[in-house]
Amino acid sequence: MLITIVLAFLAGLNAGNGLPHFITGITGQEHPSPLGKSAVVNLLEGWSAFLIGGIFWYFTWLQHGDPILAYTFAALGVFTINLFHARVWRANPEFYKHILPRQKSS
């Protein structure tokens, strides 16, 4: 049961994190992220997060745990990462510039 909870939470966390990056990427907008701020980088980050979330979700279902528990913790994972994004980006939109080494600008 604990494995189901952890995997479902991680699936929701990754899917929720991928959504803002994917949307800004497909709309051609720049958005700061750990790997860069271009639209293509955000698209790839969002797509990768969806893929990782899907893998976690697949392994969640292999556990044959309680589906209500799995959906609940996946939703909690989405809520957690979106709450993090809402608080961090509102307080400091250039958040990643302070925690990552300087990137070469082209």
Q: Are 95 and 32 in contact (CB under 8 A)?
A: yes
For residue 40, being part of any structural domain is answered with: yes
Domain span at residue 74?
2-94
Q: Is the Cβ–Cβ distance between 76 and 9 less than 8 Å?
A: yes
Q: Could you tell me if residue 103 is inside a domain? A: no
11-37 mean pLDDT: 89
Structure tokens at 34: 């750990």
For residue 104, being part of any structural domain is answered with no
Q: What is the pTM of this model?
A: 0.78
Q: What is the mean pLDDT of residues 65-83?
A: 93
- Looking at residue 98, what is its pLDDT? 58
Domain count, the chain: 1
